[in-house]
């Protein structure tokens, strides 16, 4: 009997010990396995868009919401974050300063946090102030905005704005935030990159060093979490810095800063099919416009994490729409029509023209130097619109790859499609300006297109009113071998160096012209001028915005829409193929290498001839000395 009692007692002890081992292990597993859902560069793409390279659609917040719900059903403790540029890219952006549609939609979808991208500053500080206050005062749920290194000037510094600081405080923007889900603690902080700062020239913000600021944010966030909650957090950086081709600012950030577990990398519209591990940090990207929902599953191991799985889930026509989010989108769509499009006499889905032609995708516009039929339409539209508004003859109208945000689909082209393609169409950067340049500077702008694009893809230019060719094998800054103006009747006209020419460009393009000298190391200059030939400072270009007959600023998107609308239902067949206005070729033919060569080429040729002459002289001198020595030995 006692033996049985002892056995029962021993069994009870073993069961107790096993339970002590199993129960903590189960709790530990539940806490350790975590899910991070992420997007970036949504760019106001609330609605699905047609694929540029084939059938089907991508994106749309109602479809995105369906996938988010599916993932949260699998892991209710998943966090949902975004890497910035949530605004600017569709007609919904027109309500950005007054209604904060993007942040309110993200709040309804359950986003925990986002950060600022460069396009959040497109409406200048006044627009950002309005957006932040509208979001905070709406009473709707909105995501936390984390922003460690991009803040306005402080009181006493030049550019200080009390209203800007008040709006940031009203919304609750902070350097980092601590979040708890299912017993796991996260430190989320935001970083703004150098290139993003270059792309936000009118932000009025001060960029602090991303690496040093990230180190401080990690240290402060981890210390606070450990002190307050007694645990080491998972550290996630929402970065608007970018990655590209196995390098980029976010790679540098991961290399330099210890303790970051995950970087959600926005800005460069990169698609990373697998995470990139750098210095123990996982870098992830899920493309632009809500094409995918990124799903990162990790296991927390001590003070670090290990990768369990990674997936980019396509958001396409195969995903059903979430009814509640779809209804919100339709409501905001009606608001945009009433508050913005009605001023122009258009509706959101109004068909402008039927298009039978396949145009360049955005990637193709950037990829190589070529004439683009898509960009021909845009530049022709700008020229037409300004000539109608001012009664002046426009010599050349220019657009650039850097402002092309989408293509025009095959089939019906709507107002919304046009706005998406030219979505910098609101605010100062989306307005057309009319300025003068000398013939010499106009030639320099053409040379900029030929010589700088390989160094900076966004600098590729597309022109209406000029025809030119360049040989990619020629000397840099002297690649153009032919350039003429082309009149409406097709006749050609020589570009005279000292003559002033009236040209048209978008505000962004106009601002870029001022940086030509720096980009070309002082070899090329393009100086904007007024009608009398006086130079115009870049900050004064806003005074040269073209106005319509009612005194309203002429928008890029409206110029394109009006041009397409004038085609009476069918896209003009002249855009079926390139018309020869820009000819790009490669040749080693000496005649073509030297045709219309400038002083830069001749200086280089003189240097090359000088070097060859010097080498020949040295070789001949050495040979003579060797012969003399041999002769001397022979006679000795």
Question: Both 466 and 608 in a single domain?
Answer: no
Residues 6+ apart with CB under 8 A from 105: 46, 61, 325, 328, 329, 332
Question: Both 608 and 573 in a single domain?
Answer: no
Q: Which residue has the higher pLDDT, 600 or 169?
A: 169
Within a domain: 175: yes
Within a domain: 22: no
Question: Both 567 and 438 in a single domain?
Answer: yes
Question: Both 435 and 483 in a single domain?
Answer: yes
Question: What is the number of other CB atoms lying within 10 angstroms of the CB of residue 568?
Answer: 7
Question: Both 313 and 361 in a single domain?
Answer: no
Question: Both 282 and 360 in a single domain?
Answer: no
pLDDT tens across 492-542, in order? 999 999 999 999 999 877 776 656 666 667 777 889 999 999 999 988 998
pLDDT of residue 636: 64
Q: Which of 262, 289, 323 is the last residue of a domain?
A: 323
Residues 6+ apart with CB under 8 A from 122: 87, 88, 200, 424, 426, 427, 429
- Helices 556-565 and 373-390 pack at an angle, to 10 degrees, of 100
Domain that holds residue 612: 598-629
Highest-confidence segment of 88-92, 164-168, 429-433: 164-168
Q: Which of 286, 306, 323 is the last residue of a domain?
A: 323
Within a domain: 413: yes
pLDDT tens across 262-290, in order? 999 999 999 999 999 999 999 999 999 99
Question: Both 616 and 576 in a single domain?
Answer: no
* Local confidence band at 627 (pLDDT 50, 70, 90 cut-offs): confident
Work out how many domains the chain is built from and give that number.
3
Q: Which residue has the higher pLDDT, 23 or 483?
A: 483
Question: Both 398 and 472 in a single domain?
Answer: yes
Name the percent of the chain lying above pLDDT 70: 91
pLDDT tens across 554-606, in order? 999 999 999 999 999 999 999 999 999 999 999 999 888 888 777 667 667 67
Question: Both 59 and 113 in a single domain?
Answer: yes
- Helices 323-339 and 61-74 pack at an angle, to 10 degrees, of 150
Question: Both 581 and 610 in a single domain?
Answer: no
Q: Which of 290, 323, 356 is the last residue of a domain?
A: 323
- The whole-number average pLDDT for the span 427-442 is 88
pLDDT of residue 524: 79
| SS (HEC) of 453-485 | CCCCHHHCEEEECEEEEEECCCCCCCCEEEEEE
Exposure string of 95-114, with b = 16+ CB inside 10 Å and e = fewer, is bbbebbbbbbbbbbbbbbbb
DSSP lists the bridge partners of residue 211 as none
Structure tokens at 402: 């850097």
Provide the residue count of the chain. 636
Q: What is the CATH number of the domain that holds 92?
A: 3.60.21.10
pLDDT of residue 246: 74
pLDDT of residue 409: 92
Determine the Cα–Cα distance for residues 481 and 476; give it in Å rounded to an integer.
Answer: 12
Q: What is the pTM of this model?
A: 0.85
Question: Both 353 and 228 in a single domain?
Answer: no
């Amino acid at each position: 009997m006692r033996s049985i009692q002892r056995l029962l007692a021993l069994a009870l002890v073993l069961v107790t010990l096993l339970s002590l081992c199993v129960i903590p292990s189960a709790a530990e597993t539940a806490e350790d396995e975590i899910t991070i859902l992420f997007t970036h560069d949504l760019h106001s793409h609330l609605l699905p868009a047609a694929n540029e390279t084939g059938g089907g659609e991508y994106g749309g917040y109602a479809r995105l919401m369906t996938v988010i719900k599916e993932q949260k059903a699998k892991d209710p403790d998943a966090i949902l974050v975004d890497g910035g540029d949530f605004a600017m890219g569709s007609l919904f952006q027109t309500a950005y300063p007054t209604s904060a549609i993007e942040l309110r939609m993200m709040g309804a979808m359950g986003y925990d946090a986002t950060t600022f991208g460069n396009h959040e500053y497109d409406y200048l500080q006044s627009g950002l102030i309005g957006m932040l206050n509208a979001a905070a005062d709406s009473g709707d749920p909105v995501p936390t905005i984390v922003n460690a290194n991009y803040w306005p000037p402080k009181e006493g510094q030049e550019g200080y704005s009390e209203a800007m600081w008040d709006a940031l405080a009203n919304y609750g923007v902070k350097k980092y935030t601590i979040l708890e889900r299912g017993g796991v603690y996260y430190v989320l902080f935001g970083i703004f990159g150098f290139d993003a700062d270059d792309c936000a020239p009118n932000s009025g913000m001060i960029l602090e060093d991303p690496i040093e600021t990230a180190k401080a944010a990690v240290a402060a966030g981890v210390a606070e979490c450990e002190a307050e909650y007694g645990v080491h957090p998972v550290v996630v950086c929402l970065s608007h810095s970018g990655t590209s081709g196995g390098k980029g600012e976010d790679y540098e950030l991961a290399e330099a800063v210890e303790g970051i577990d995950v970087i959600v990398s926005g800005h460069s519209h990169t698609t990373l099919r697998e995470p990139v591990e750098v210095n123990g940090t996982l870098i992830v990207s899920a493309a632009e416009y809500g094409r995918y929902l990124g799903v990162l599953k990790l296991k927390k191991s001590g003070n670090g994490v290990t990768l369990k799985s990674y997936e980019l889930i396509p958001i396409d026509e195969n995903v059903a729409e979430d009814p509640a989010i779809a209804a919100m989108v339709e409501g905001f769509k009606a608001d945009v029509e009433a508050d913005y499009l009605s001023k122009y006499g258009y509706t959101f889905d109004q068909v402008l023209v039927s298009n039978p032609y396949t145009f360049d995708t955005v990637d193709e516009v950037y990829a190589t130097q070529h004439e683009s039929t898509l960009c021909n339409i845009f530049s022709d539209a700008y020229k037409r619109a300004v000539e109608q508004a001012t009664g002046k003859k426009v010599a050349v109208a220019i657009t650039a790859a850097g402002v092309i945000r989408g293509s025009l689909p095959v089939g019906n082209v709507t107002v919304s499609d046009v706005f998406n393609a030219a979505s910098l169409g609101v605010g100062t950067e989306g307005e057309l300006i009319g300025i003068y340049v000398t013939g010499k500077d106009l030639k320099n702008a053409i040379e900029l297109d030929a010589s700088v694009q390989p160094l900076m893809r966004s600098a590729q230019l597309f022109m209406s009113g000029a025809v030119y060719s360049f040989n990619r094998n020629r000397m840099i800054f002297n690649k153009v071998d032919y350039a003429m103006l082309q009149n409406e009747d097709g006749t050609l006209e020589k570009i005279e160096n000292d003559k002033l020419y009236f040209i048209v460009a978008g505000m962004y393009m106009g601002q870029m012209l001022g940086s030509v000298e720096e980009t070309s190391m002082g070899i090329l200059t393009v100086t904007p001028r007024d009608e009398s030939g006086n130079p115009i400072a870049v900050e004064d270009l806003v005074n040269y915005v073209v106005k319509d007959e009612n005194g309203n600023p002429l928008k890029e998107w409206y110029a394109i829409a009006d041009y397409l609308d004038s085609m009476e239902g069918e896209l003009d067949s002249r855009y079926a193929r390139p018309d020869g206005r820009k000819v790009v070729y490669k040749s080693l033919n000496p005649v073509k290498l030297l045709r219309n060569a400038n002083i830069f080429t001749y200086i280089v040729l003189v240097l090359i001839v000088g070097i060859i002459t010097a080498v020949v002289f040295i070789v001949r001198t050495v040979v003579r000395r060797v012969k003399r020595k041999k002769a001397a030995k022979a006679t000795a």
